[in-house]
Amino acid sequence: MIDLRSDTVTLPSKEMKEFLIKSPLGDDVYGEDPSVCNLQNQVADIFNKEAALFVPSGTMANLISVLTHCNRGEEILLGNKSHIFYYEAGGVSGFGGIHSHQLNNNDDGTINIDDIKNNIRKNGDDHFPETTLLCLENTHNYCYGSPIHLDYFQNVKSLIDKHKIKLHLDGARIFNASVALETPVNELTKNADSISCCLSKGLSSPVGSVIIGNTKFITKAKRIRKALGGGMRQAGILAAAGIFSLNNMIERLEEDHANALELAQKLSDLQYISIDVKKVKTNILFINLEKNNMADEQFLNQLNKNNIKIDYKGNRKFRLVTHYGFNKSQINIVIEIINNILKD
């Protein structure tokens, strides 16, 4: 099976499994798991922040971050295509009582600076919730996996600092952005007050994310993690995989990006497939099916019968994501199968 639905389907390598089995363990709720502590210290150093916190998932990382920044009844600004708004079960509202105010995402994942400025609530007016936090995403999952440049974050930070608004960065694929933009992660994230980073996507750990911020922020976040059930005991067996990922899996993300671009270029040559190759900047690409006599579900079923899985976004739109479990030699196999399906 060639699985291109997401880079979340990556599996740990034999070397990663051996590394995590041999790693020392302790009780992380007591702060005594050496592997968790080592991971958190390493991440804090990489991002040039004071502290970090290991959590089970990216969704929990974002939820904890928002709950740490905001009180009930306050408001966050975020994109209408952002992962926090679109894919995280409304957790910030359901669990935090926090009002989300969605602004339009551009195709490159940014939100227009003027839109942010014009939607910051007026202080002192009892009609409005207080705008406390802005959430951005890099790379932007739904917006073509776009990596967002440092200068955009600097411009945003200059605006929101005037209004004492914090910035949380959903950096689930921040290392993809770093590789694509040839910019260190500590530079890309230096304007963020908090960052979430996934270890279980392109970095290929089996599970886990990290929250990064200053010591005061992480201390509060750790308490919220416990309340949400994210305090794990001998969590080092998972955190060790993250250490292996940071030491071995970052540079190879460039291979995923190259494979995505080649796959996109070859898909663009197929009849009945439309794709904007210029928008393929990392490991995510979107295609549209233009064969009128083939239903979306029929296309997916035919792919499955030929041992290929891709992600369906509805209304003729599909997503393909390259990753550690997909190699260059499989590109032509995918192209040949899709071409045969569309011809038939």
Write out pLDDT tens, residues 204-230.
999 999 999 999 999 999 999 999 999
* Domain C-terminal end among 248, 268, 296: 248
| Rounded distance between C-alpha atoms, residue 280 and residue 262, angstroms | 10
C-beta of residue 134 within 8 angstroms of C-beta of residue 160: yes
pLDDT of residue 344 exceeding 90: no
332: confidence class by pLDDT, cuts 50, 70, 90: very high
| Rounded distance between C-alpha atoms, residue 13 and residue 271, angstroms | 37
CA dihedral of residues 328, 252, 207, 262 (deg, nearest 10)? -30
Check which CATH number belongs to the domain holding 322 and give it. Answer: 3.90.1150.10
Domain total in the chain: 2
DSSP conformation class of 140: B
124: confidence class by pLDDT, cuts 50, 70, 90: confident
Which domain range does residue 326 map to? 252-343
pLDDT of residue 123 exceeding 90: no
pLDDT of residue 140 exceeding 90: yes
pTM: 0.96
With a pLDDT cut of 70, the percent of the chain lying above it is 100
| Burial state string for 190-204 with b = 16 or more CB within 10 A and e = fewer than 16 | ebbbbbbbbbbbbbb
Q: Which residue has the tokens 């792919």?
A: 303
Check which CATH number belongs to the domain holding 234 and give it. Answer: 3.40.640.10
Q: Do 113 and 198 belong to one domain? A: yes
Structure tokens at 77: 């600004």
Q: Do 113 and 243 belong to one domain? A: yes
- Say if 264 falls within a structural domain: yes
Q: Do 129 and 263 belong to one domain? A: no
- The strands making up 317-321's β-sheet, listed across from edge to edge, are 273-274, 284-289, 317-321, 311-314
Q: Do 43 and 124 belong to one domain? A: yes
The 3-class secondary structure across 212-277, one letter per residue, is EECHHHHHHHHHHHHHCCCCCCCCHHHHHHHHHHHHHCCCCHHHHHHHHHHHHHHHCCCCCEECCH
* Domain C-terminal end among 218, 248, 278: 248
Stretch 248-276: mean pLDDT: 97
Q: Do 195 and 327 belong to one domain? A: no
Model pLDDT for residues 109-118, shown as the tens digit of each residue: 999 999 999 9
* Domain C-terminal end among 232, 248, 264: 248
Stretch 138-151: mean pLDDT: 97
C-beta of residue 81 within 8 angstroms of C-beta of residue 140: yes
pLDDT of residue 266 exceeding 90: yes
